Structure 1
Amino acid sequence: MPGGVRPRAVNRQVLTDRVYEEVLAGLMDGRFTAGAGISIDGLARDLDVSPTPVREALARLESTGMVTRVALKGYRVAPLFTTEELGELMDARLVLEPVTAMRACERATPELVAELARSVADLRDAPRGGSFAEFRDYWEADERLHRLIAEHSGNRFLLSAYEGLGGQIQRFRYFNGVGVTDAEAAIEEHTAILAAFRTGAAHSVGEAMVAHLAGVKARALGDVRSRDIPMAHPRR
C-alpha cells in the first residue's frame, strides 16, 4: 500500500520544485512586473501543470518577500524597493550580521572554516552572466557564506532574524535585473572574512563583515543611480 502513495507524493514535490524554479528565475530576471497580479491559472497553463503546484510554489516564494499574498485577491509581485528601503535593509544587515559573524567565530570549528573556504572558492569559480540561469551558482555561493555564519552563531534568535532578512535580500536582488555587477569586490571581501575566521579573532571577523556589507550597500545604491533604474518614490 505505501508503494502506491509514495510516487504521487514525489511527483507532486518535483512539480512544485520546477514551478518554484521557473517563477524564481522570472522574478530574478525581471520578467514579472513589480506590483502586478499573478494569475495562478495562467501560470499553470504556461507551465503545463495543475494549479496546485503553482499555489505551493507561490506560498514558498512568499517567504522570500518576492511575492505577496493579498486577502481575496491572490498573489502579486512585490513592489520595487524604494532607495530609502534599500538603505534601511542594508543598515539592518550591518547591525545583525557582524554580531552573528563574531558569535560564529567564537564557536568556529575546522569544519566550518572548510565550508566557508568552499563557498569562497565556488564564488570565485562561478559564472556571472546577465541572466539568473547564468549567475545562479554565484548567487548561491554568495548566500551560502552568510547563511553558514548565521547558522553557526549558536543563537536561534539571531538565526531567525537573519532568515527574516534573507527573503528581503532576494527581493532587493531581483528588482534591478542587471545580474552580477560587483563580483571582484564581493570575492575580495568574502576572502577577507574567511581570512579573519582563520585567525580566530572575533573582532577581526566582525570588522571584515562590516566592511563587506558597507561595500554591498554602496555598490547596490550606486547601481541604481548609475543605471538610472526607476525606483518607487518613498512611501510616507
Structure 2
Amino acid sequence: MASPQRRSGRQPLADKMYEVLLGQFTDGRWAAGEPVNIGALSRELDVSQTPLREALARLEHTGLVRREALKGYRVAPLLTEQELTKLMDARLVLEPALAFEAARRTTPEFLADVLETVDDLARAAKSPDSNVFSSYWMIDERFHLLIAHQAANPFLEKAYRALGGQVQRFRFFVELGSARGAPGQAAEEHRAVYDALADGSPVDAADRMRDHIENAKQRVLADRRSVAADGEQ
C-alpha cells in the first residue's frame, strides 16, 4: 500500500490537472461532444496519463465529460432546451431554500466572502477581456457554493453539489451568442441576494435568489432560441 506521503504527493498534480482541464472548458477550447485524447493531453501538458485520468474521473462526476466503454472520454453534449428548463426548475426549488437558511446563520466572515464574489462579478461584467465568461462562471459558482455551505444543512448542500455537476455543464456549454449582458444582470441580482443576507432577512434572501434563478432561466432560454433561429436562416 502506498504511504500517505506518496499519495499526498500525487494528489496535488491530479488537482492541478483538474484545474487546467476545467480552465480549458471555460475558455471554450473544447466543443460539446468532442473526444478527449489523453495521450495527446499528456504530451501537451508534459505529465503522465495517471493524473490526467484522475482529473477526468473527477470531471465525469461533474457531468462535463462522459466515459464510453472501449472509447475513452468525450466532452458531454449540449443540454437540450428541455434539460435546461428542468435543471433551472430544480434550482428554483433548491436554491431559495439554501438562501433562506444561510440568511438565518450569517457571520461577518461569510458576508465578507459573499460580498467579494459580488464585487468580483461586477468587475468581470465591465471587463473588455474576451474571456469574461470564464471568470463569470467561476465567480458565479463560488457565490452559490458559499450560500449552499452556509445553510448548514448537509443534506441540502449535498443535493446542491449533486446538482452542481449539471450546473457546471450548463455554465460551460450553453450557447452565449445573445447573452452578452448576462454578467452585468447577474451581478445586480447577486448584490440583491447579498443585501438580503446582510439584512438578516431569510424571506427576502429566498425571494431574491428565486428572482435570480428565474431571470437566469429566461436569459439562457432566450439565448438558445436566438441561436437556433440564427442557425435556421
Tell me, in whole angstroms, the C-alpha distance in 1 between the residues paired with 2:84 and 2:29: 21
Tell me, in whole angstroms, the C-alpha distance in 2 between the residues paired with 1:230 and 1:86: 19
Tell me, in whole angstroms, the C-alpha distance in 2 between the residues paired with 1:161 and 1:128: 36
Please say if 1:225 is aligned against 2:225: yes
Q: How many residues align?
A: 225
Tell me, in whole angstroms, the C-alpha distance in 2 between the residues paired with 1:229 and 1:64: 30
The structure-2 alpha-carbon separation of the partners of 1:75 and 1:229, relative to structure 1 and needing over 3 Å to count, comes to farther
Q: Which runs of 4+ in 1 moved over 6 A?
A: none
Tell me, in whole angstroms, the C-alpha distance in 2 between the residues paired with 1:93 and 1:24: 22
- Show CA shifts across 1:19-42 (max 9, x none): 323322332334323223322222
**Amino acid in structure 1 at the alignment position of 2:189:** E
Please say if 1:39 is aligned against 2:37: yes
Instruction: Please point out which of 142, 148, 151 is paired with 2:149.
Output: 151
| SS of structure 1 residue aligned to 2:152 | coil
Instruction: Please point out which of 98, 101, 104 is paired with 2:99.
Output: 101
Contact 1:105 1:205 in 2 (8 A): yes
Tell me, in whole angstroms, the C-alpha distance in 2 between the residues paired with 1:125 and 1:163: 26
How far did residue 201 of structure 1 move? 1.6
Q: TM-score, normalised by structure 1?
A: 0.84
What is the RMSD of the two structures over their aligned residues, measured on CA atoms? Answer: 2.6
The structure-2 alpha-carbon separation of the partners of 1:119 and 1:33, relative to structure 1 and needing over 3 Å to count, comes to closer
Structure 2, gaps ≥5 residues long = none
Contact 1:69 1:76 in 2 (8 A): yes
The structure-2 alpha-carbon separation of the partners of 1:18 and 1:107, relative to structure 1 and needing over 3 Å to count, comes to closer
How far did residue 70 of structure 1 move? 2.6
How far did residue 6 of structure 1 move? 5.4
Tell me, in whole angstroms, the C-alpha distance in 2 between the residues paired with 1:32 and 1:140: 17
Tell me, in whole angstroms, the C-alpha distance in 2 between the residues paired with 1:218 and 1:142: 17
Aligned counterparts, 1:146-185, within 5 A: 146-176=144-174, 178=176, 181=180, 182-185=182-185
Contact 1:90 1:217 in 2 (8 A): yes
Worse overlay, 182-191 or 28-37: 28-37
How far did residue 73 of structure 1 move? 3.2
Partner of 1:234: none
Tell me, in whole angstroms, the C-alpha distance in 2 between the residues paired with 1:67 and 1:188: 32
**Amino acid in structure 1 at the alignment position of 2:221:** L
Structure 1, gaps ≥5 residues long = 232-236
- Show CA shifts across 1:179-236 (max 9, x none): 87301111110111011112212111110000000011011111212233899xxxxx
Identical residues among aligned pairs (%) = 48
Tell me, in whole angstroms, the C-alpha distance in 2 between the residues paired with 1:110 and 1:18: 31
Aligned counterparts, 1:34-113, within 5 A: 34-113=32-111
Worse overlay, 108-117 or 177-186: 177-186
Contact 1:130 1:178 in 2 (8 A): no
Q: TM-score, normalised by structure 2?
A: 0.85
Partner of 1:203: 203
